């Protein structure tokens, strides 16, 4: 995924499935300068992490 698409997903009113390393995640914030995203696992909202946007997959 690229930074622009990750930002579009955040702004979308629709629920769009995204995975990181095979795990469903929600994108909270995109850092365009660093090409990273702040995400949390769909089944564990307290488990937040910063990951490279190019490792996110839209499913």
What is the residue-level pLDDT of the chain in tens, covering all 59 positions? 999 999 999 999 999 999 999 999 999 999 999 999 999 998 898 999 999 999 999 98
Q: What is the pTM of this model?
A: 0.91
pLDDT at 59: 87
Return the domain boundaries, the chain: 3-58
For the range 29-35, what are the long-range contacts, defined as Cβ-Cβ under 8 Å and sequence gap of 24 or more? 30/3, 30/6, 32/3, 32/7, 35/3
Provide the pLDDT for residue 33: 97
Q: HSE of 55 in the Cβ direction (CA atoms, 13 Å)?
A: 13
């Amino acid at each position: 995924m690229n930074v622009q698409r990750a930002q579009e997903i955040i702004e979308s009113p629709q629920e769009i499935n995204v995975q990181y390393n095979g795990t469903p995640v929600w994108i909270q914030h995109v850092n365009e300068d660093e090409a990273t995203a702040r995400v949390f696992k769909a089944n564990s909202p307290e488990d937040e992490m910063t990951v490279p946007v190019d490792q996110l997959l839209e499913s």
